Amino acid sequence: MIPLRLSEIAAVTGGTLHGEDVTVAGPAYLDSRAPVADGLFVAVVGERVDGHAYADGAHAVLGSRPTTAPTVVVADPVVALGVLARHVLDRLDPVVVAMTGSQGKTGTKDYLAAVLRTLGGAGSVVATTANHNNELGVPLTVLHADAGTRHLVVEMGARGVGHISYLCEIAPPHIAAVLNVGTAHVGEFGGRDQIARAKGEIVEALPAGGTAVLNADDPLVAAMSDRTRARVVRFGHAADLSWRGLAMDVLGRPSFELGFEGRWHPVSLLESGMHQISNALAAAGMAVSAGFAAADVADALSSARSASRWRMEITERADGLILVNDSYNANPESMTAALEALTDIGAASAAAGSPRRTIAVLGEMRELGDEHDAGHQSVGRTAASLGVDVVVVVTEAARGIADGASGGTGEVIVTAGRDEAEAWVRQNAGPEDVVLVKASRGVALEVVAQAILEETTA
């Protein structure tokens, strides 16, 4: 963050300074348990916790009432944080590259950030971390930028219509991508058309000189070209950025040729799953729109690694068991992608002469609303159609997966919770198996994944 005196922050946000006029040189933060030296603690009053009560020891505070630390008092710290972020962004003027979608945002963001750091310099890029894609997370991301930041890569999420428009007021994009319109949070939106309406706000915010990067394979996304005055670059099977010549290795990592402007460039991804191709194409579309050559982008993609935990993390246990930890989040589309990756690894292993049994440990997908039962059943049917050998369902809340999978040839087990699922894997899975673990974040199946990795053979 660029250094700012609290008096300047007060002037920018319309607040009042209480206490010493110190200089804030570190970024803003929300968690008092992880204070930032010279940073700005944002005291938010939540349903259970009042941040003002934890301001002791903070260098400076942005809050709605005075604290024991130097404090800028404003009517609404969340709104003020966004105003401050926009002020800093206007002073620095980096290229803002924003993206949204029902799934794949984090994977695409990680690819793009890695490419930009490879081609533009490691210190020239600030990108969203963790799940900082809302009205708090976006300004926190912006406030990590400094005078050396050339590209600001921002994930934007939404819980309803108007949310992304607001985020684009904080961080107006020069380049914006819509990855897909799926069923994540469909219960909050009320339908896919409403999701599309909300996601499309990101391209409506683009200036005439900007670029919209759109998924040509998703009809709801492709139709968004009519909602922007910016140049449109499409990615997909037959689009401005396309691909051909797929090959998969034994860990389900795709290699292919990336096509752009009539030329083809080899790419070998280090992350597993066919869905990574779409993520990589979207990242490539944003990178070439930022002025980088397609050949260089393809080379950089081939060395790009995920910077985010619990998203298609593949680990081989000491005894040979392969674990695919994709436990960070889940919806029907991302479940399908993960199951396809699981069976691709199984098929590739068999083709290499070392067949592996495929085991999917699956928990509840939340925030599906009225689509809860149908969504879980569809995932079960997908597992059955793909030929997953064993489906381990975690809790009755996800029983629909078992109902959908029951028509297949694989084994289906419903467990009472994480402990029972972990016990089943511990007692039944071994060196010749590949195990996928996936559910919505609140189910916390990373606990099961960690326990599987810690298990050793007798």
Query: What CA–CA distance (Å, rounded) separates 50 from 53?
Result: 6
pLDDT-derived band at 457 (thresholds 50, 70, 90) equals: very low
**Mean per-residue pLDDT of the chain:** 95
Q: Are 300 and 412 in contact (CB under 8 A)?
A: no
Rounded Cα distance between 306 and 435, Å, is 20
Q: What is the DSSP letter of 216?
A: T
pLDDT in tens, 180-230: 998 766 666 668 899 999 999 999 999 999 999 999 999 999 999 999 999
H or E, element range at 31: none
Spans of all domains in the chain: 4-74, 93-301, 313-454
pLDDT in tens, 264-301: 999 999 999 999 999 999 999 999 999 999 999 999 99
Q: What is the CATH architecture of 4-74?
A: 3-Layer(aba) Sandwich (3.40)
Q: What CATH fold (topology level) applies to the domain 93-301?
A: UDP-N-acetylmuramoyl-L-alanine:D-glutamate ligase (3.40.1190)
CA separation for the pair 337, 335 (Å, rounded)? 5
* C-alpha to C-alpha distance for 187 and 181, rounded to whole angstroms: 14
Sign of CA dihedral 169, 171, 175, 176: negative
Give residue 362's pLDDT: 98
Check: CATH 3.90.190.20 for 313-454? Answer: yes
Query: How far is the C-alpha of 414 from the C-alpha of 88, rounded, in Å?
Result: 52
Average pLDDT on 85-103 reads 97
- Closest by alpha carbon to 15, among 70, 76, 86? 76
The pLDDT tens digits of the residues spanning 435-445 come to: 999 999 999 99
**CB count in 10 Å sphere of residue 153:** 27
Distance CA 403, CA 39 (A): 51
Q: Cα(first)–Cα(last) distance of the chain, in Å? A: 52
- Whole-model pTM: value is 0.91
For residue 347, the model assigns a pLDDT of 95
